[in-house]
Structures are given as C-alpha cells and as structure tokens.
Amino acid sequence: MNTPPSGAPRRATISDVAREAGTGKTSISRYLNGELSVLSPQLRARIEAAIERLDYQPNQMARGLKRGRNRLIGMLVADLTNPYSVEVLQGVEAACHALGYMPLICHAANEVDMERRFLQLLTTYRVEGVIVNALGVSEETLRPVGEGGIPAVLVDRSVEGLVTDMVGLDNQGATTLATRHLVERGFDKLWFVVQPFEHISSRRQREAAFHQALEQYPQVSGRTVVLELGDADELAQTLSALDAELDAAIAPHEQDAGARVALFAANGLVALALARHLNQRHGADWQKRVALLSIDDPEWAELAGITTIRQPTYDIGYRAVEFLHQRIDGEQTSARDCVLPGELIERASTAR
Amino acid sequence: MNTPPSGAPRRATISDVAREAGTGKTSISRYLNGELSVLSPQLRARIEAAIERLDYQPNQMARGLKRGRNRLIGMLVADLTNPYSVEVLQGVEAACHALGYMPLICHAANEVDMERRFLQLLTTYRVEGVIVNALGVSEETLRPVGEGGIPAVLVDRSVEGLVTDMVGLDNQGATTLATRHLVERGFDKLWFVVQPFEHISSRRQREAAFHQALEQYPQVSGRTVVLELGDADELAQTLSALDAELDAAIAPHEQDAGARVALFAANGLVALALARHLNQRHGADWQKRVALLSIDDPEWAELAGITTIRQPTYDIGYRAVEFLHQRIDGEQTSARDCVLPGELIERASTAR
DNA sequence: CTGTTAGCGCCTTCAC
DNA sequence: GTGAAGGCGCTAACAG
C-alpha cells in the first residue's frame, strides 16, 4: 500500500498552471524551456503570473523521465572522514555547478557492500554518470559501471579490470619529491608507513615509487612498515615494535650523529595515527625527536608541524567532472589517466 | 534540443521484460513489488529469468512519479569541512538506511545563495523531506521548507521564523559543564571565544549560558571575544590583541599564583584557529602555557591535548531522520526540540 | 492467478 | 503563435 506522503501539501502541476493561465500545457512547457520568442507577450505575462500565484515548480523527475536524462551524477566516496575526500568533493561540486549537474553524494563509509548498494541505487535512479572513489576491492562490485554500464570516472585510484578515466595525484612524482627532500635533509633511514590495502592502486604506486627513488641513494636505507589502523590491538603492537626500532636506531649516536630516521606516511590517516602515538609517547614536542612526513595535508598538519605533500584535491574533483561530462556526451571512449602534481610543504618536523 | 546521453546504452524497461517473459507488465510490476504469493511458480520463474537475462533494473524516477513518493530526502549541510557535519552525516546515513530513505547530500559551503539554490533544487526533485543544517541567515531563504512546504527538521541550530523540529546539543548544559570544569580547575579569568555570527542560535545560546553560569562564581571574571575567521587581517589583529592581554594577565604572578586565564572556544573551528596561533607563538607545547577548552571534539584535539565537550553527533543525525520520518508520515505537526547532552573529555590543556 | 486500461507530470511531434 | 494527442516507465484499479 503506497500512499503519497501526507506531510507536505500537493504541489501544482503544469496542468494547474495551464488552467490558471487559461491556455494549454504546451505553452507552459515552452515557457519553462526558454522558448520565449515563440510566445506572445500577453500569453507570456499570463503564464508568469499563474506560475507566481501557484508557486509552481516543475517536477524534475517527470522531466527526466520524458527527456531520458536528468542531469544527475553520482559521487561515490569511500570515506568522508578523510579530509582528502571532502576537498575533492568541493572541486566536484564547483564543476557540477558550472556544467549544470546535480551531484548525488554517496558515502560508502569503507564498507564494500555499501559501495555496491549505492552503485545499484544510483543505477536505478538513472544518474547520467558516476565519479567513484572506490574501495577498490574488486571490479566485481563495480560491474554496473564502466564499459557497457554508466559512464564513470575514477578518483585517486584505479580498479583492476575496469578500464575508464582516472584522475588523481602523480604518485610517482610526489613520492620521489618527498623522498629526495628527506635525503637532502640528511635522513638516511627512511620508513615508509602504509595501510595494508594492497589492492588500492595509489597505495601500491607510492610504495613502488618510494623504493625506486631510493635506488638513487645507495647510502640511504628504506623499508616498508604496514600499519593496521582498524585493529586497535594490532596497531598498538606494531607501534611499540616501531618504537623499539626507532630507539635502537637513534640511541647509539645521539642528536646529529649517526643514523637519522624519518617516517614517511603514505597518507593522512596513517600520519594521524603515527602522530597520535608519538605525541602520547614523547609529549607535545615529539616533532623535534622524530621526523614525520606525509602525503596529504590535513588541517592539523600545520598544528603538528609536519612536512607534507599537498594534493591538488580541488582540481582533481573538478577535472573528474569534466572528464565525466565528456563521456556522458559520448565524446570520449578510450580511457585516459590524468595525474596532477603534488606540492611539498616543508615544516618543522623535517627541518634539521 | 534534448538528446538522451549517448554515453550509456539504453536500459531495459518493464515492457521489455514483459515481452521477454511472454507476459504483461502488471505481473512484472507485481513481482518487483514483492507480491510473490499472487504469481504462479512458473510465471515467477520466467520473470526471474527474463530480468536476469536483460539485466533489468526498475527506474526509480518512474516509480516515484507514479507513486507520488520517491524515498528521497535532502540533507543540506552548511559546511562539510567542519568535522561536526561529517559526523552528523553518518548518523543520518545510518537512519536513512534503516528507514529506507536515500539521502541527497547538498553542501552549501557557507554560501547563502548556494543554500537557497539547493533548497530550490531539492524541491524540484520532490524530495519527501529535508534535514537542514542552515546557515541561518534568515527564514526567507528557507521559505520552500517547513509549514506549507517540504517537511523539514533542523540540526544544530534553529532559524528564526521557521517553526519545525530541531535537534542538537544541549548548549545550556554543555556550556555550564565546561564552565564549571574550568572554575574547578582553578581558572578565574575565562574568555569565551566565538565567531561573529550572532544569527546562529547555538552560538547565541552558548554565549548566554556561559555568562549565566558565571553568575554562580563571583570570584571568576568572564568576557566574550569575537574572532573573525574569514578575514585573515582582522583575525591576526584580534589574535595579537588577545596575546597582549594574555601576557598582561599572566605576567605579574607567574605559574600558579594570581590570575589564571583559560580560553573557551565556542566550537571546533574557533579552537583550531586559536590552537594554530598559539602553536605558532609559543611552540609545540603551548598547551602548558595556555589553557584551551572547546565545544566539539575534532580528531586533532587529542593530538593537541585540549579538553573538549564532545557532541553526540551520530545520535543527532539519527534522531533528525527519525523526526523527519514521522513528519513525512504526517504523524507530527507541532514543533519539537530535542537537545542531547555533551560529554566532557578532559585533557592536558586544562589539567593544572 | 493474470492481463487491460488509465494515468503520474512533463515534453514533443504535428496540426491548426 | 498556439493547442491536442501520444508516450517516457511504472503502478493501480478493474476485469476476466
């Protein structure tokens, strides 16, 4: 039993307006679609008055049904609590505004079945395209999208088996930039700290670029440390092991002599976890004891005084929509990658 | 000229499925709506097969048009960069999920005309209700909403002239709690720092409660400081004036004697601005020199070691949707206020 | 149990 | 210039 919502009053329809203006629906439709030149000034005035009187607002759903397009695009975000996502979103919104789209924002909250359900939902609402910041577990959940499905463009990470546009950070360049910075600042033991999501392409690319960059500096050693942020126990365990190593690496030399260790966080979430821990262990001025650099430049980074690589988040979002727009219009068929450069923001934590 | 998007292929319709299954549209519709008991097993099997073969997905727009309701609700957020909003959003999403709604998230980005445009847009998409975290400039821009318009419930702040449900923090209780905490910790000079938005009800309530709470403690002095976050110059100026006063207040006595000043930030954004400045001026261990307490408990608060009042953000969002749901069903007509308690999280910055 | 029919609100030929 | 008629994809009475 499906009764219309009783909360809101019934809205005026195009027929109501036509009757009120003493004309046919066609003229109203023409008025709405800006075909003003075809209407006599008098009729036009009557229509305007009727619309005003009835507080008429055309029903987008009905228009969409008829036209076959509704100007809706979906924006599927893996994790809104990540400042990166919110920043990208701002670019997306700006571009949508400029191109006349309405973005439907869907938040998967890091849950794979949420991601699938939202994709399904967006499909049934017949959005014209989707921008996907995927969890990236597998292309299977992304089946409704891409070739043969809804036009899509990926943000930050690609998904295996899904060939379509992708826009994100130049991971290779950014990681190289950061690594070189650390080496130049005299650190000779670099620990690249990542989350255990090997299926996320950006995560993999950054790690690979890190090790590749190090090949240039034989005197510098580097290793990867995996941090499981989801599991508190495991996290604590890894962190204390890391503490021990850090102490051992630093101890024999004191201050400016010997091995100088730097932590390189693969993203802002990792950096926050590290910062929290270090802050707790060494006190508020931990940055002076332990060097930390991070990809992503969240608000607290300045507060904590850590060096970062800032991503061109706004541009990433904006470009993603532009790409999608072209796909929707069928102007684009082959898959493109768009990688944008990051910017190094140097702060106290790596100034030695 | 409105051509359908050329990017995506045409999707199967209910008629296609009917033809494929060798039956009428009605049976398909019945199947879709779960009236399974009315279908013979054979027909049902044929329908299932046809749907599978055609990868059919019912068009929600068309269903909505016919039924008069589309299960869409709008969520208008004033500022997504405020962690508070994202947290509330998570509650909203959970409740929507539970009640079968799809939230359309709209981000006004602190711009009044964005707010108006989104409200207009939500109206034309015939959402069944809206949850509004308003900029709150005036009820005028919120006209399409509330009495006579779309069912609405307000979050965090009420809007003058708009009588409808409102759910948010118990500002009175939270502010009193915080004030008492500061007094008990021995601070006798409290500065309540706010943004200059006097039209935002929560901002006003907090300030009023602060001064009211202080009446209980004649030995403690309190004043309001207004911080203009938007204007860098003005901000810098206010902050340096504040520095001077802070120095003067603390100077004559040293450490634990005499006047002890505490900063009370009315929200997380103010706290961040203060923290940034203090950090810059006094170094990473500024918390030991200047006491700071904030309403809102953003992620960096722990890092900075500041005492906070954590809002029940998730519950606020969840309750808001429940209220809205009742309104949509017409079960509720009078306006209700729902205020939820905050929780004091004590950290280093006020431990003396 | 199943199919036919008439719209939901709007746009779009096609006539007048 | 203007309007009537048909249909977008779906649901909801009605019949059978």
Q: What pTM was estimated for this model as a whole?
A: 0.91
Q: Would strands B307-310 and B291-295 be described as parallel, antiparallel, or unpaired?
A: parallel
Strand C contact at CB of residue A38, distance < 7 A: no
Q: How far is the CA of A157 from the C1' of C7 (A)?
A: 47
Residues 76-135 in A having a C-beta less than 7 A from any atom of strand C are none
Q: Is the pLDDT of residue A257 over 70?
A: no
Strand C contact at CB of residue B25, distance < 7 A: yes
CB neighbour class for A138 (10 Å; exposed up to 12, middle 13-18, buried from 19): middle
Strand D contact at CB of residue A171, distance < 7 A: no
Nearest by CB to residue B330, choosing from A7, A57, A288, is A7
Mean pLDDT value of segment A162-167: 93
Distance from CA of B213 to the nearest CA of A (A): 31
Which residues lie closer than 8 Å to B339 by C-beta, 6 or more apart? B167, B168, B169, B170, B171, B172, B173
Which residues lie closer than 8 Å to B332 by C-beta, 6 or more apart? B165, B323, B326
Q: How far is the CA of B174 from the C1' of C5 (A)?
A: 62
Which residues lie closer than 8 Å to B230 by C-beta, 6 or more apart? none
Q: How far is CA A277 from CA A208, A239, A273, in A?
A: 26, 8, 6
- Give the chain A residue whose CA is nearest to the CA of B305: A284
Nearest by CB to residue B285, choosing from A81, A275, A285, is A285
Amino acid found at B238: T
Confidence of residue B140 (pLDDT cuts 50, 70, 90): confident
Distance from CA of B76 to the nearest CA of A (A): 12
Q: Is the pLDDT of residue A140 over 90?
A: no
Cα–Cα distance for residue pair A287/B323, rounded to 1 Å: 47
The predicted pLDDT at position B258 comes to: 59
Contact yes or no for B2 and A67 at CB 8 A: yes
What does DSSP assign to residue A331?
-
Strand C contact at CB of residue A30, distance < 7 A: yes
Q: How far is the CA of A45 from the C1' of D6 (A)?
A: 29
Q: How far is the CA of B238 from the C1' of C8 (A)?
A: 59
Q: Which residue has the higher pLDDT, B220 or A250?
A: B220
Confidence of residue B251 (pLDDT cuts 50, 70, 90): low
Contact yes or no for B104 and A104 at CB 8 A: yes
Q: Which residues of chain A does B67 touch, with a Cβ-Cβ cutoff of 8 Å?
A: 2, 4
Q: How far is the CA of B85 from the C1' of C10 (A)?
A: 36
If one counts every other C-beta atom within 10 angstroms of the C-beta of residue A124, the result is: 16
Strand C contact at CB of residue A335, distance < 7 A: no
Q: Tell me which architecture the domain covering A171-310 has in CATH.
A: 3-Layer(aba) Sandwich (3.40)
Q: Is the pLDDT of residue A254 over 90?
A: no
Q: Is the pLDDT of residue A290 over 50?
A: yes
* Mutation choice for B interface testing from A13, A61, A84, A130 by most B CBs within 10 A: A61
In this complex, the residue with its CA at the shortest distance from the C1' of nucleotide C8 is B66
Distance from CA of A181 to the nearest CA of B (A): 23
What does DSSP assign to residue A239?
H
Cα–Cα distance for residue pair B154/B165, rounded to 1 Å: 6
Q: Which residue has the higher pLDDT, A301 or A255?
A: A301
Cα–Cα distance for residue pair A265/B70, rounded to 1 Å: 44
Cα–Cα distance for residue pair A276/B334, rounded to 1 Å: 46
Cα–Cα distance for residue pair B154/A81, rounded to 1 Å: 22
Q: Is the pLDDT of residue A3 over 70?
A: no
If one counts every other C-beta atom within 10 angstroms of the C-beta of residue A24, the result is: 13
Confidence of residue B2 (pLDDT cuts 50, 70, 90): very low
Q: How far is the CA of B35 from the C1' of D6 (A)?
A: 31
- Give the chain B residue whose CA is nearest to the CA of A58: B124
The predicted pLDDT at position A341 comes to: 98
| Cβ proximity of B238 and B228 under 8 Å | yes
Q: Would the CATH topology of B71-168+314-340 be identical to that of B171-310?
A: yes
| Cβ proximity of A83 and A298 under 8 Å | yes
Q: Which residues of chain B does A304 touch, with a Cβ-Cβ cutoff of 8 Å?
A: 284, 300, 303
End-to-end CA distance of chain A, in Å?
Answer: 71
- Give the chain B residue whose CA is nearest to the CA of A62: B65
Distance from CA of B150 to the nearest CA of A (A): 5
**How far out from the chain centre does Cα A225 lie?**
25
Residue in the block written with tokens 């006004």: B108
Q: How far is the CA of A142 from the C1' of D6 (A)?
A: 38
| Cβ proximity of B307 and B343 under 8 Å | no
Contact yes or no for B59 and A80 at CB 8 A: no
Which H, E and C letters describe chain B, residue by residue?
CCCCCCCCCCCCCHHHHHHHHCCCHHHHHHHHCCCHHHCCHHHHHHHHHHHHHHCCCCCHHHHHHHHCCCCEEEEEECCCCCHHHHHHHHHHHHHHHHHCCEEEEEECCCCHHHHHHHHHHHHHCCCCEEEECCCCCCHHHHCCECCCCECEEEECCCCCCCCCEEEEECHHHHHHHHHHHHHHCCCCEEEEEECCCCCCHHHHHHHHHHHHHHCCCCCCEEEEEECCCCCHHHHHHHHHHHHHHHHHHHCCCCCCCCCCEEEEECCHHHHHHHHHHHHHHHCCCHHHCCEEEEECCCCHHHHHCCEEEECCHHHHHHHHHHHHHHHHCCCCCCCCEEEECCEEECCHHHCC
Q: Is the pLDDT of residue B146 over 90?
A: no
Q: Which residue has the higher pLDDT, A10 or A326?
A: A326
CATH of the domain spanning A71-168+314-340: 3.40.50.2300
* Nearest nt (C1') from A30 Cα: C11
Q: Domain extents for chain B?
A: 14-58, 71-168+314-340, 171-310
Confidence of residue B1 (pLDDT cuts 50, 70, 90): very low
Contact yes or no for A89 and B80 at CB 8 A: yes
Would you identify the CATH topology of the domain A14-58? 434 Repressor (Amino-terminal Domain) (1.10.260)
Mean pLDDT value of segment A137-142: 73
Residues 15-34 in B having a C-beta less than 7 A from any atom of strand D are 15, 25-26, 28-29, 32-33
The predicted pLDDT at position A218 comes to: 95
Strand D contact at CB of residue B58, distance < 7 A: yes
Convert the pLDDT of each residue in A270-284 to its tens digit. 999 999 999 989 988
The predicted pLDDT at position A14 comes to: 95
The two three-digit tokens of residue B343, written as one number: 């929780």
